[in-house]
Amino acid sequence: MDQQTLQRIFYGALGLILLVVLGGGLAAAGWPGAAFALFAFMTLGGGLVCIWERSVVRSAFALMSTFMGIAGLFILLESDFLAMAQILIYVGGILALLLFGVMLTPPDMSERKLGRVLPGLGIVGLAILWVGLKVAATAKWAVQGAPLDGRADGPISSAEAIGVGFLAVDQYVVAFELAAIVLTVALVAAVYIARRRLSDVQPSRTRAGEVG
Amino acid sequence: MGLGAYVAVSAALFGLGIVAIITRRNVLYILMGIEMILNAANINFVAFNRFGDNGLDGRMFAIFTIILAAAEAAVALAIVLNVFHLFSSVKPSEADLLRE
């Protein structure tokens, strides 16, 4: 079977799964169920496409679907601030960084041979999936709040509470400052590691004693 | 939708991330797999926080995970660029300078 037919079968199956999942969610829990099904499909379908596609650029854009789906799940979980941060940082920042990496590295032609090891590793992945789903389905959780559509007064925004939590002395202010220090150090270090030495770029114009 | 549904999505995403890490030879795919795994952990944090009664702890943990993921992605990309500069390859198996 050639690559193009495989590709068609994969995406056709993905579309069918979307329809089935949307219908199932709608039938099981109404519109909240359908929204959950859509976001869960975006998350997991994006991950699947990311693994399936051979081109790094396509995988990166599939990962965007994953991040957007997770942002949707956060909104369903009444964490609007987190959803916004997810889109800002992951889609706007980390994905752009990955695409920079794609631009700065050459295409990897040896990827096509990996089809041979894929079955065995697929089994490993399925085993992890199966254990996770089994635990998720059968575990008796100690915490069981109200389901999402059970609130009478509508969803609650958590943005203000999170902002206060960041700055209140008796809550998360130490972790907040530590995160700021970690970000500063990591980003300065990243710039330092990734810089090009002047001697690599213009060997003839580098004078003695000039480093960096 | 109850807690179990979110935990199931998170578990599936974690599995996909593991598969992305072990089936691909390109460093960029490994970074993508790591992002998937961190996101799976985030879904768990937020879901347990939403269905539990522990204040804001889970959501704060999720925010700090996102912050650390951003720092990790920047440093990892810088390291990838440097490794590519040294070895002319983005496969982690070819960076074997210490073996010689």
State the amino acid at position A20 in one-letter form. V
- What distance in Å separates residue A46's CA from the closest CA in chain B? 10
Tens digit of pLDDT per residue, chain A (212 long)?
567 777 788 888 888 888 888 888 888 877 888 888 899 999 999 998 888 887 888 888 899 999 999 999 998 888 888 899 899 998 888 888 888 877 766 665 555 555 666 676 677 778 877 877 777 677 666 655 555 554 555 556 677 777 777 777 778 888 888 999 999 999 999 888 888 766 666 555 545 554 54
Q: Does B25 sit within 8 Å of A141, measured CB to CB?
A: no
**Whats the size of chain B, residue-wise?**
100
Q: Which residue of B has its CA nearest to A43?
A: B13
* C-alpha radius of gyration, chain B, whole number: 17
Distance in angstroms (rounded) separating the CA atoms of residues B54 and B42: 16
Q: Does B3 sit within 8 Å of A118, measured CB to CB?
A: no
Per domain, the residue ranges of chain A are 1-107, 158-203
pLDDT of B100: 67
Q: Does B46 sit within 8 Å of A82, measured CB to CB?
A: yes
Q: Does B81 sit within 8 Å of A143, measured CB to CB?
A: no
- Percentage of chain B beyond pLDDT 90 is 20
Q: Which residue of A has its CA nearest to B9?
A: A40
Burial of A52 per CB tally in 10 Å (0-12, 13-18, 19+): middle
Is this model's pTM higher than 0.95 or not? no
Q: Which residue of B has its CA nearest to A149?
A: B1
Residues of B in contact with A117 (CB under 8 A): 23
End-to-end CA distance of chain B: 55
Q: Does A125 sit within 8 Å of B19, measured CB to CB?
A: yes
Residues of A in contact with B24 (CB under 8 A): 51, 111, 114
The tokens for A26 are: 């709608």
Residues of B in contact with A101 (CB under 8 A): 28, 31, 77, 80-81
DSSP string, A6-57: HHHHHHHHHHHHHHHHHHHHHHHHHHHHHHHHHHHHHHHHHHHHHHH-SSHH
**Whats the size of chain A, residue-wise?**
212
**Which of A124 and B20 is assigned the larger pLDDT?**
B20
Residues of B in contact with A122 (CB under 8 A): 19, 23
Q: Which residue of A has its CA nearest to B21?
A: A51
Nearest to B20 among A51, A79, A117 (CB): A51
Q: Does A132 sit within 8 Å of B51, measured CB to CB?
A: no
Segment B62-86 mean pLDDT: 88
**Which of A1 and B29 is assigned the larger pLDDT?**
B29
Q: Determine contact, residues A194/B81, Cβ cutoff 8 Å.
A: yes
What's the fold here for domain B3-90?
A: Helix Hairpins (1.10.287)
Nearest to A161 among B56, B72, B74 (CB): B56
Q: Where are the alpha helices (DSSP H) in A53-85?
A: 56-76, 80-85
pLDDT of A67: 94
8-state DSSP, A86: I
ipTM above 0.85, yes or no: yes
